[in-house]
A = this chain, B = another copy of it.
Amino acid sequence: MTAPLHEARPPGAGRALPDTQQGMRRRNLARVLHAVSAEGSLSRAAVASRIGLTRAAVSTLVDELIRWGLLEELGPERPGRVGRPGSALAVSGRGPAGIGAEIGVDHLAVCAVDLRGEVRARAVRHTANRGRAPGPAVEELTELVRRVVAEAEREALWPAGLAVAVPGLVARDGRTVVRAPNLDWHDTDLGALLPGDWPLTVDNEANYGALAELWLGDGTPRDFLHVSAEIGIGAAVVVGGGLLRGTRGFAGELGHVPVRPDGPLCPCGGRGCLEQYAGEEAVLRAAGLEPREDPVGLLAGRADQGDESVRAALRDAGTALGIALTGAVNLLDPETVVLGGALAGLSPWLLPSLETELTSRTAGPPCPVTVSRLGPEGPLLGAAHSVVRGVLDDPAVVAERP
């Protein structure tokens, strides 16, 4: 029996905490912290009514969270509220921070996000990582991580964990990059290369992009298909507010869904995969352009200037995306499809043909397609926020800090 495919984390509920008094207390600590986090600031009484515990029980939990440095008192509540004024609580802007990192094909990026969800430190370096050995690339990333951590520490934050987004398939151990074709990395244990100072998780950039959309998107539902593209085309399936990961951790390989079964050979072994029609290189080729750095910027710029061959190439890519997404929507029945990553920037030229395809192939009302506000920022933010969510979902981990 393998680990479950999905990883649904409703705030403080259904977590894998043991079903004991102690586990219940941990879940209730999470409920308190989530309630305050969701509202920005909240009195003890408001927390109690929101989560259905007594005022006394909530006070004990709040005291613990204050002692751990996760909540702070803002002083008496603003006037104008009904009832006896209480001291408002807020999530602390000091204390634990999530460190997110991203290994892109042409850049490295690191950021620190506090419990309030604010980016407090950030470093980006443009560097060609395609075909680069993992050792030097990770060494350079580690240097950026240390710089961001030092900056965060100057603001009284401490790293609760490091989460690294990579453009490839990651094993369920959360540290081994099984295959990252556009870096040319195979079976690379990043856990052995990255510093061991903090809890570490490595995950696919499409997964982190989807989580960012879930947590930071505007009105994003808890059930959606997130499609992103850097060089390849990835997708992440979010079900009930959790990622569907697959048995091996490889779910969401939309780029290798057959679109035209007799189409061109794909390096994956298949024929006519979506990437052969809508991947960046395929689109560049169809538009008669040479591969180069920032292909999305190039395509968007040309399309914007009215270059008809680029627009036609993007239209065809949208059609192929629409065919592949029809299959995905039929299988998953998501509430929406969200275009994220680099695709967000190309959406004006992809969306019309994509939606035509999706609409004409569906009997009922077609699944709505939206464009992510986060765009290429998604994976880095998702990585950092995943660490923050880990603390919100089980604040007691902070007390176990060595």
User: Which chain A residues have a beta carbon within 8 Å of chain B's beta carbons?
Assistant: 1-2, 4-6, 8, 13-14, 19, 24, 27-28, 221-223, 235, 237, 239-241, 244-254, 256-261, 267-271, 323-324, 326-328, 330-335, 360-363
Q: Which residues of B contact A360 (CB under 8 A)?
A: 269-270
Question: Are A333 and B268 in contact (CB-based, < 8 A)?
Answer: no
CB distance from A265 to the nearest CB of B (A): 11
Contact of A333 among B5, B14, B332 (CB under 8 A): B5
For the complex formed, measure the closest distance between the CB of A28 and the CB atoms of chain B, giving whole angstroms: 8
Report B-chain residues with C-beta under 8 Å of the C-beta of A267. Answer: 363
Q: Is the CB of A254 within 8 A of B331?
A: yes
Main secondary structure of the interface of A (DSSP, over half): loop
**Chain B residues, CB < 8 A from A327:** 257-258, 324, 327-328, 331
The residue on B at minimum CB distance from A360 is B269
CB distance from A213 to the nearest CB of B (A): 15
Taking A247-B334, A247-B335, A331-B331 as known contacts, 8 extra A-B pairs with beta carbons closer than 8 A to each other, sorted by chain A number, are A4-B222, A8-B8, A19-B24, A223-B247, A254-B330, A256-B361, A258-B327, A270-B362
CB neighbours (8 Å) of A244 from chain B are 239, 244, 332
Determine which residue in A28, A247, A251 has the highest number of CB atoms from chain B within 10 A of its CB, and name it: A247
Chain B residue at smallest Cβ distance from A320: B261
Question: Residues of B contacting A328 with CB < 8 Å?
Answer: 327, 331
Q: A261-B260, A333-B249, A334-B247 are in contact. Are A239 and B5 (CB under 8 A)?
A: yes
Question: Judging by beta carbons under 8 Å apart, are B251 and A335 in contact?
Answer: no
Q: Which residues of B contact A235 (CB under 8 A)?
A: 331
Selected contact of A221 from candidates B2, B257, B261, CB within 8 Å? B2
Interfacial chain B residues near A363, Cβ < 8 Å: 267-270
- CA separation between A328 and B254, bound complex, in Å? 9
- With the chains together, A70 CA to B249 CA distance in Å? 39
Instruction: Check if B6 sits within 8 Å of A257, measured CB to CB.
Output: no
Check A331–B251 contact: CB distance below 8 A.
yes
Residues of chain B within 8 A of A330, CB atoms compared: 253-254, 256-257
Partner of A326, one of B250, B270, B335: B270
Residues from chain B with Cβ under 8 Å of A261 in the complex: 259-260, 323
Chain B residue at smallest Cβ distance from A251: B333
CA distance A138 to B264 in the complex (A): 51
Which residue of the partner chain B has the closest CB to A237? B331
